[in-house]
Structure 1
Amino acid sequence: MDRRRFLASAGLAGASILAGCGSVENQSTRSPPLVENRPDATYYPTHSEGMEMIGHKQAGDYMVGLTYSYPHRFWTVTGTNAEQVTIRDADSVHLMASVWDPETMTVLPIESGVSITIDADGETVADKQPWPMVSQNMGFHYGDNYQLDGEGVYEITVRVDGMTERRLGGFADRFGDAGEMTTNFEFSRDARDAISYDEYPDQQGSRAALDLMSMEMMPTSQVPAPEDLPGELLGTAKGSDEVYAATWVSEADVLESGQSYLAVSVRTPYNRVPLPMMSLDGTVEIDGESVYDDALSPTVDPAVGYHYGAVVEATGDPSVTVETIGPPQVSRHEGYETAFLDTPTLSF
């Protein structure tokens, strides 16, 4: 299975914005030592760095925004284990791709993934899939460190594969096909090294998070507040620092007579960033009788955003249990690498 896939077995150059990114070749300058005794939860990182917009374009049904910053450290996740990816001397930039619906501005985590190809003078310099990632102030995106062949102009192609997640509401007949966009990128070390950089010696390690960035060209990847979810909110619960919000929908176009819909939205604390690529099971009882006991499917919907859901062949007042089989199989920027790794069971 591709390393980016869910592991269930375990031209607008010059626009400056902030991202939780990491280092240049001189790692002692741009990568402060990690916080000692980091909590097993979201924490304030040692530093943050800016990023620059390369471009954003339509790619089939999708809109894609491409940005870059310094190469930086991050952590990949397999099962319940996080492993640090260190910066290589040859790394030139950290590329980040965000994918969203241009109509509703909903950021779309896509399990099938994104690929980035970099060409220069007719030759391919790099061709690989970036990791699905979460960072505190950029939210969900796809990113990785890339090696370039020196300064100059590069042609970057971003391909977004068709979604395999269930799509409801206004998304029902969209995002099934792949899309592709191409943009030019002029790389110089001076421009990269001029990107902003801030350290937080007094706040690092505290139980808090950087604010999500706000920018005109790209949406923020937030799911609705629990009270804004459709249907009847059954409650919220905290897992291994992530927050679960469960709602019970009795009326929707997707439902037939005698059916209800259970939606479980899992998000980060502080910023409500969706946590995709989890494996969740759900059980539903009504009047003491079991009416559902199965997996909850990854789903996107304009009103709920990314969530895990199931159509239940029953109506009434439910009692719901959610069991986390696998935590989010997404890479993390600093401040998230110790969080969201347990497998709690929660009741609503």
Structure 2
Amino acid sequence: MRRRTALAAGGCLLTAFSAGCLETLRRDDAWRELVVDPPDGVYVPPHVDETMTYGTATTNGWSISLAATRPHSFWPVAGTERSRADVRSRHALHLMVGVHDADSGVIVPTSVTTTIRRQNGTDDGERVDERSLWPMLSQRMGPHYGDNVVLDGDGTYAATVHVGPANAVRTESLADRLDEPTTIDLEFTYNTAEIEGLERRLIDADEGRGESSALEPMADHPVHRSAVASGGATRVGVGQSGDVVVPTAHIKRDARSGFETPLLAVTPQTRHNRYPLLFMSLSATVSRGGDRIATEALAETIDAQYGHCYSTTLEPDVLERGDELTLTVETPPQMARHEGYETAFLERGSTTIGLE
């Protein structure tokens, strides 16, 4: 029988929060123990952490933002397996980078590395941390790139963020940008007390802590487009597999859509907040009367109007009323999970949409 009992971290919650207990929960990952045996899927985590923004830069068609919060554990994913990356005493903060097309705001699947130098009056500064960031998914921020990083005490730092070319098919609307790597520098001031002072709010049991739901997105999180909701696209249907919903549309070849070839656009999203799921492998199969008509692999795609999706060329006469479209997850999203998502989006599976 599944238990969703609120347990005390080191006995702290069995009585009133003492100053010492509360400080332990601020420093450590003891909050994790407030949810025991979470469901196999999306669930409401035990707390919400405040974030702070360090800055945003726009260059060569890219919009790159830098933000931070308290260091915390997360779960990298390899194939269908996850592992836990724990907080270490040397970690100063959890760094988060957002990467979008500057004009449309579409999120860009790519690679991101950061080099952080302490500003000490020299031209280059002293390098204190260098790493490749994980593609990540959190309930409040959505998709981003991040990791826990090491700094050398309070002071001023310069973060050099290097972004690779878009790791997705770019449609005609993005043909003139996002194909070259770019590098930006953002300066920030780190203060230990400021990071530790960021609000960490406990989610009460009567707010759904540990239940199959999700936190609301941050007020300023990016709006993610879906082809199904955009003009110029014809809705095919919406499938669902576990906590993944899959709006699907057909985009015609015409002036309104701006496409030179007709596309089947599949947009896997999280069920509650409709965040796009990046770095997946998907296939689509059309069946008629029990016979398979066509099977195609889908390519990760970004478009200024239709947003992030997985697509394949599909002539309109291939689909007929009564056909079945089966969408299969060959590889789940290769994105590290923040708490509340670590038990979700890990399975291979399929969903079938009947064409009416």
Q: Report the counterpart of residue 85 of structure 1 in structure 2.
A: 85
Determine helix, strand or coil for the equivalent of 2:248: strand
TM value normalised by structure 2: 0.83
| Distance apart, 1:24 and its partner CA | 8.6
Of 322-331 and 284-293, deviating more is: 284-293
Q: Report the counterpart of residue 44 of structure 2 in structure 1.
A: 44
Determine helix, strand or coil for the equivalent of 2:91: coil
CA distance in 2, matches of 1:331, 1:176: 25
Of 277-286 and 72-81, deviating more is: 277-286
Matches within 5 A, 1:262-341: 262-285=264-287, 292-313=294-315, 315-318=317-320, 319=323, 320-341=325-346
CA distance in 1, matches of 2:79, 2:223: 24
How large is the Cα RMSD of the aligned pairs?
2.2
| Distance apart, 1:223 and its partner CA | 3.3
Match of 1:123 among 116, 123, 126: 126
1:53 aligns with 2:56: no
Amino acid paired to 1:52 = M
Q: Report the counterpart of residue 235 of structure 1 in structure 2.
A: 237
Q: Report the counterpart of residue 17 of structure 2 in structure 1.
A: none
TM value normalised by structure 1: 0.85
Amino acid paired to 2:33 = P
| Distance apart, 1:169 and its partner CA | 3.6
Amino acid paired to 2:112 = V
Q: Deviations over 1:296-340 (max 9, x none)?
A: 000001222111100025525343221111100100111111011
CA distance in 2, matches of 1:251, 1:289: 27
1:176 aligns with 2:176: no
| Distance apart, 1:67 and its partner CA | 0.4
1:71 aligns with 2:74: no
- Answer with 1 or 2: which has the greater Rg: 2
CA distance in 2, matches of 1:179, 1:31: 38
Determine helix, strand or coil for the equivalent of 1:103: coil
- Identity, in percent, stands at 31
Q: Deviations over 1:118-157 (max 9, x none)?
A: 0113221111111000101101100100010111111111
| Distance apart, 1:221 and its partner CA | 4.9
| Distance apart, 1:289 and its partner CA | 7.7
In structure 2, relative to structure 1, the CA distance for the partners of 1:40 and 1:279 (3 Å cut) is same
Q: Report the counterpart of residue 9 of structure 2 in structure 1.
A: none
CA distance in 1, matches of 2:313, 2:289: 18
Determine helix, strand or coil for the equivalent of 2:268: strand
Q: Report the counterpart of residue 104 of structure 1 in structure 2.
A: 104
Structure 1 residues without counterparts, runs of 5 or longer: 1-22
CA distance in 2, matches of 1:25, 1:213: 21
Q: Report the counterpart of residue 248 of structure 1 in structure 2.
A: 250
Q: 1:286, 1:316 within 8 Å by CA — same for their partners in 2?
A: no
Q: 1:75, 1:82 within 8 Å by CA — same for their partners in 2?
A: yes
Structure 2 residues without counterparts, runs of 5 or longer: 1-23
Matches within 5 A, 1:21-40: 26-27=27-28, 31-40=31-40
Amino acid paired to 1:26 = R
